[in-house]
């Protein structure tokens, strides 16, 4: 049987300190994901050809597309397990893990079976140069075998976070990514395996993380307890999960359409521009995932508030989320401006790439101010299991991006591309904010 732990936070009133005690481990945990991509880029960025950066960027984009489309597995697992935790239902806490776990395994196996058409279609859509395409295919052919494990990791991390086992989630994710980073350096810089080494490092860390995560779950729920589990595929909660996952899937499809178009447009401008944009996107991912850590904390609190019918906790969660996300946006902008001459050389030693990265860095300074509230609102609506507004806001924002790309790239080139991305980020915040007043009435019926 599961052992109940002392709640990490007080349910009635959440102080700034209590919110940060929940948010900081989640920030560290979420940052390990983009940090890994940044290390992948940095390792190949110190080789002698920018095509290596492009190869990893395109290969990673394919898997970001595949996995981010299934990102709802982590988000929905977090919010449903958080609500079950708030209701103190042991059976439901257990089934909130098992339902998405089955889906993750099935979809991961399907990805492996369809790997050839997936790879062919992706390379055709992105249309990189011939050398970058070869390196991207090499990366894909190795990493695809980790698909079931990568998706299972989404479920494991979502469940651990939703059930307030944040420290375990942090330890597991840090382990996975430290292992990946060590293997990156070993395979690429020591054994000179190049792009294949980066892919192999990711594959090994994904498999290791999934096996350890399943071991953690079985350590909490013994096999005999799993046999007693009821309602894994009970119609009402299962359909509720699928409905939320459908909306989050559409939301993620819109998000990935934006990143795919962005990368494809950069690739058309040459290998140098593709490499520059890859570096800037890694910086963007680091900042976005920083906000995502705060968003995850908000999602947990809102999920508990909904599970307990606690309007006071709900209101306080939104207030703290807004305050600390804004503080983070200003801090990140200042830190990047001060440390820009230290940050860029970490990603590449190629002088031409460094110089061009500085030219477009202004867009990264604007990014935190345009996106922070949109990501926090995403956590609020997810915690309340109301994903339709999230879906609608991303559809609107994607349209804004595509129209902006069509308008501004012919005029300003890569600056026009980054302007379109900035407008997309701002639109995410503004369009979802419009829905917020309705949420309380929907959740609490007054």
79 token code pair: 């919010």
Which of 313, 357, 311 lies closest to 336, judged by CA?
357
The token pair that represents 133 in the structure block: 């395409």
Rounded CA-CA distance 192/176 in Å is 22
Show the tokens assigned to 7.
């709640």
Rounded to an integer, what distance in angstroms lies between the CA atom of residue 386 and that of residue 388?
6
Q: Contact, 206 vs 149, CB < 8 A? A: yes
In terms of residues, how long is the chain? 446
Q: Is residue 292 part of a domain?
A: yes
Find out whether 38 and 341 touch, Cβ atoms under 8 Å: no
Half-sphere exposure of 294 (CA within 13 A, CB side): 26
Asked, for residue 410, whether it belongs to a domain, the answer is yes
Q: Which two tokens stand for residue 43?
A: 């390792």
Q: Give the residue from 362, 387, 159 showing the smallest Cα distance to 254.
A: 387
Task: Name the region of 10 (left: φ>0; alpha: ψ -120 to 50; beta: rest).
Answer: beta
Report the pLDDT value the prediction gives residue 401, as an integer from 0 to 100: 97
Q: Furthest-apart CA pair in the chain: how many Å?
A: 65
pTM of the model: 0.75
**71, 77, 80, 82: CA torsion to nearest 10:** -110
Output the tens digit of pLDDT for each of the chain's 446 residues: 334 444 444 444 688 988 988 888 888 777 766 666 667 777 777 666 677 777 787 787 788 778 777 777 877 788 788 777 766 667 777 888 888 898 899 999 999 999 999 999 888 887 777 888 888 888 899 999 999 998 999 899 888 888 878 888 888 988 988 898 899 889 888 888 888 888 899 899 999 999 999 998 888 776 555 555 555 556 666 676 677 778 888 988 898 889 889 988 988 898 889 889 988 988 898 898 889 889 988 988 888 888 788 888 898 999 999 999 999 999 999 999 999 888 888 888 788 888 999 999 999 999 999 999 999 999 999 888 888 899 999 999 999 999 999 999 999 999 999 999 999 999 999 999 998 888 877 877 65
Identify whether 8 is part of a domain: no
CA–CA gap between residue 106 and residue 103 (Å, rounded)? 5
Measuring CA to CA, which residue among 190, 159, 165 is closest to residue 94? 159
Q: Domain of residue 275: give its range.
A: 16-444
Structural contact between residues 100 and 158, judged by C-beta atoms closer than 8 angstroms: yes
- Read off the tokens for 420: 């379109």
Residue 6 lies in a domain: no
Residue matched to tokens 């059930």:
163
Residue 4 belongs to a domain: no
Beta carbons of 42 and 347 less than 8 angstroms apart: yes
Contact 400, 427 (CB under 8 A): yes
Q: HEC string of 116-160?
A: HHHHHHHHHHHCCCHHHHHHHHHHHHHHHHHHHHHHHHHHHHHHH
**Nearest partner of 35 among 330, 346, 296, judged by Cα:** 346
CA–CA dist 71, 33 (Å, integer): 13
Whether 3 is in a domain gets the answer: no
Q: How far apart are CA 330 and CA 343, in angstroms?
A: 18
Q: Is 405 inside a domain boundary?
A: yes
Contacts of 183 (CB under 8 A, 6+ apart): 197, 200, 201, 204, 205
Tokens 């929905």 found at? 76
Q: Tell me, what's the pLDDT at 232? A: 58
| 8 Å CB contact between 211 and 217 | no
Query: Cβ contacts of residue 223 below 8 Å, gap of 6+?
Result: none
Tokens at residue 34, please? 């983009």
Structure tokens at 202: 């990711």
Count the domains in the chain. Answer: 1
Give the pLDDT of residue 237: 63
- Other CB atoms within 10 Å distance of the CB of residue 160: 27
Other Cβ atoms less than 10 A from the Cβ of 440: the count is 15
């Amino acid at each position: 049987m599961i052992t109940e732990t002392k709640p990490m936070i007080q349910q009635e009133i959440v102080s700034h300190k209590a919110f940060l005690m929940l948010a900081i481990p989640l920030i560290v945990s979420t940052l390990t994901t983009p940090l890994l991509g940044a290390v992948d880029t940095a390792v190949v960025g110190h080789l002698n050809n920018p095509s290596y950066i492009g190869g990893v960027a395109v290969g990673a984009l394919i898997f970001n597309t595949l996995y981010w489309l299934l990102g709802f597995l982590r988000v929905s697992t977090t919010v449903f397990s958080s609500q079950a935790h708030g209701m103190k239902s042991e059976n439901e806490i257990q089934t909130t893990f098992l339902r998405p776990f089955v889906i993750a395994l099935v979809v991961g196996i399907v990805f492996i079976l369809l790997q050839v058409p997936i790879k062919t279609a992706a390379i055709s859509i992105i249309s990189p140069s011939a050398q970058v395409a070869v390196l991207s295919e090499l990366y894909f052919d190795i990493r695809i075998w980790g698909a079931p494990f990568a998706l299972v990791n989404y479920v494991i991390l979502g469940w651990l976070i939703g059930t307030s086992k944040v420290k375990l989630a942090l330890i597991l994710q840090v382990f996975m990514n430290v292992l990946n980073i060590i293997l990156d350096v070993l395979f690429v810089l020591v054994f000179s395996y190049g792009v294949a080494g980066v892919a192999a490092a990711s594959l090994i860390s994904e498999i290791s993380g999934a096996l350890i995560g399943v071991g953690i779950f079985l350590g909490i729920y013994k096999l005999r307890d799993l046999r007693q589990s009821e309602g894994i595929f009970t119609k009402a909660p299962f359909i509720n999960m699928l409905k939320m996952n459908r909306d989050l899937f559409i939301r993620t499809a819109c998000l990935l359409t934006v990143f795919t178009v962005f990368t494809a447009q950069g690739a058309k401008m040459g290998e140098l521009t593709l490499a520059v944009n890859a570096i800037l996107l890694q910086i963007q991912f680091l900042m976005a995932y920083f906000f995502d850590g705060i968003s995850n904390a908000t999602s947990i609190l809102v999920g508990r508030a909904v599970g307990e019918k606690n309007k006071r906790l709900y209101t306080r969660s939104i207030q703290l989320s807004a305050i600390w996300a804004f503080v983070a946006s200003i801090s990140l902008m200042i830190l990047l401006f001060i440390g820009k001459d230290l940050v860029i050389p970490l990603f590449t030693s190629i002088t031409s790439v460094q110089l061009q990265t500085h030219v477009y860095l202004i867009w990264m300074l604007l990014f935190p101010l345009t996106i922070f509230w949109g990501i926090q609102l995403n956590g609020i609506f997810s915690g309340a299991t109301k994903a339709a507004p999230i879906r609608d806001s991303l559809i609107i924002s994607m349209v804004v991006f595509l129209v902006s790309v069509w308008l501004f790239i012919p005029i300003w080139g890569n600056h026009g591309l980054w302007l379109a991305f900035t407008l997309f980020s701002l639109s995410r915040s503004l369009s979802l904010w419009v829905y917020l007043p309705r949420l309380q009435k929907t959740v609490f019926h007054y």
